[in-house]
Amino acid sequence: MESEAFEKICSGAENVIGGYELRKKMEGGKRLKVKLGVDPTRPDLTFGHMVVFNKLRQFQDLGHEAILLIGDYTTIIGDPSGRSETRPILSKEEIEYNSRTYLDQAFKVLDPEKTTVRRNSEWFAKMSFEDALHLARRMTVARMLERDDFSKRYADGTPISIVEFLYPLLQGHDSVELHADVELGGNDQLFNLLVGRALQKEAGQNEQCVITMPLLVGLDGKRKMSKSYGNYISFNDSQKDMFGKIMSIDDETMYLYYKFLLLKTDNEIYELESMHPMECKKQLAHTLTARFFGSDTADHELKQFESIFSKNDLPDDMEEFFAPDSCQNFFDALFSSGKFASKKELHRLIDQGGIKVDGIKLVDPRERFARKDGGIVVQAGKRLFFRIR
């Protein structure tokens, strides 16, 4: 039984370091302390975070202690992992706001009754400067420069703050404070997680097992899911946006989402590949939307999608905007809706044939905006519909 549990925990992982010791602990019936740290740098989580949250939930369902560590103190520094420049500094108010929203979102995956929530300000806020110096002595500059992101920035002459060098030490010290048996993270966190093992060994503790998960591919099917790339699905997306974004991914990415977001086995994915890709994708979108918004809402979004894209119907819950009297042409009227990030983006969509007005492709954005009863229906791209009166 415990052997099967161990195999389940390792499934889908990119790296499992200390797996032999972990297996012995599980077979010995030890209730493990499993740590997942998140820095509240932004107010919402993405499906990229769900990959590691799912793994923590697996430990939770097996009866182990799931520790969600809010890095409210380490956020002040900013994790340099995968960064080509120093992160911007957030205020304490921003960090606190983001921390609260993270908990609301995390419990859409984790069981709140079985989750231990900690903040690393509990110990770092009490540290003296002497304590910080003692911690800093445990790492050399040469070891830090082994990191790809630091070595590249150093070679390129891009500034690296001394404070950034402290980040892996702080994350590692979190594991010492929590006496973690396991630490989870994305594959880009491997260096930081290994520092935790080294600090625990120095402190006379058993070294934590490190489990890293692959970085989820974004909507573009090429780069990792990131807000910086604009290729993400957020926990806080509306049901319509969530469903529509999932339907926009390519087939190869779809099967990765089945594997890492719905934890389907290779055999189950093989069976899914026998389905028509469109039906398979609709099933994925329905399942994930139902997880966040419930089955009824997912049923509604599926029906809306099929009506719009199969029957060329219009959605029955379009947003409406009233164009100011100053709008004399279609471009001004469209931009007044606030649905486009910039005039440049709107021009690009029109040039690419991505804007339809009452079902007809908009060619001349300077065409006079004719006001009529009932307004005009705008389709931008594949998923966005709204009415302008």
Q: Are residues 8 and 64 in the same domain?
A: yes
Q: Please check whether residue 220 lies inside any domain of the structure.
A: no
Angle formed by the axes of helices 295-310 and 239-247, nearest 10°: 50
Which of 287, 310, 333 represents a domain boundary (last residue)? 310
The DSSP secondary-structure symbol of 14 reads S
Q: Are residues 99 and 189 in the same domain?
A: yes
Place of tokens 């923590």: 56
Evaluate whether 373 touches 388 at the Cβ level (below 8 Å). no
Q: Are residues 263 and 328 in the same domain?
A: no
Per-residue pLDDT reduced to its tens digit, 51-62? 999 999 999 999
Task: Identify the band that residue 373 occupies on the pLDDT scale cut at 50, 70 and 90.
Answer: low
Cα–Cα dist 257/47, whole Å: 9
SS3 category, 55: helix
Identify the weakest region by mean pLDDT among 64-68, 74-78, 141-145, 313-317.
313-317
**Integer angstrom CA distances of residue 95 from 92, 121, 218, 235, 327:** 5, 12, 25, 18, 40
Cα–Cα dist 36/45, whole Å: 14
Q: Are residues 121 and 147 in the same domain?
A: yes
Q: Are residues 112 and 253 in the same domain?
A: no
Task: Identify the band that residue 85 occupies on the pLDDT scale cut at 50, 70 and 90.
Answer: very low
Question: How many DSSP H helices and E strands does the chain contain?
Answer: 18, 11
Q: Are residues 163 and 247 in the same domain?
A: no
Answer yes or no: is pLDDT of 80 > 70: no
Question: Amino acid identity, residue 362?
Answer: L
274 CB contacts (<8 Å, ≥6 apart)? none
Evaluate whether 45 touches 106 at the Cβ level (below 8 Å). yes
Q: Are residues 151 and 201 in the same domain?
A: yes
What is the tally of structural domains in the chain? 3
Listing DSSP states for 121-181 in one string gives HHHHTT--HHHHHHHHTTS-HHHHTTSHHHHHHHHHT----HHHHHHHHHHHHHHHHHT-S
Burial class (CB in 10 A: 0-12, 13-18, 19+), 242: buried
pTM of the complete model: 0.76
- Cα Rg of the chain (Å, integer): 24
Cα–Cα dist 152/336, whole Å: 43
Q: What percent of the chain has pLDDT over 90?
A: 48
Q: How many residues does the chain have?
A: 389
Cα–Cα dist 139/195, whole Å: 9
CATH code, domain carrying 365 = 3.10.290.10
Per-residue pLDDT reduced to its tens digit, 301-324? 998 888 776 555 566 667 788 888
Q: Which residues pair with 386 in a beta bridge?
A: 319, 378
Q: Are residues 199 and 263 in the same domain?
A: no
Return the number of other C-beta atoms located less than 10 Å from residue 89's C-beta.
Answer: 11
**Integer angstrom CA distances of residue 302 from 107, 199, 258, 299, 318:** 25, 50, 18, 5, 16
Domain, as residue range, for 137: 2-213
Cα–Cα dist 276/261, whole Å: 20
Q: Are residues 203 and 293 in the same domain?
A: no
Higher pLDDT, 290 or 139: 290
Per-residue pLDDT reduced to its tens digit, 145-194? 777 777 787 788 887 777 777 888 999 999 999 999 999 999 988 988 99
Q: Are residues 259 and 381 in the same domain?
A: no
Q: Are residues 189 and 331 in the same domain?
A: no
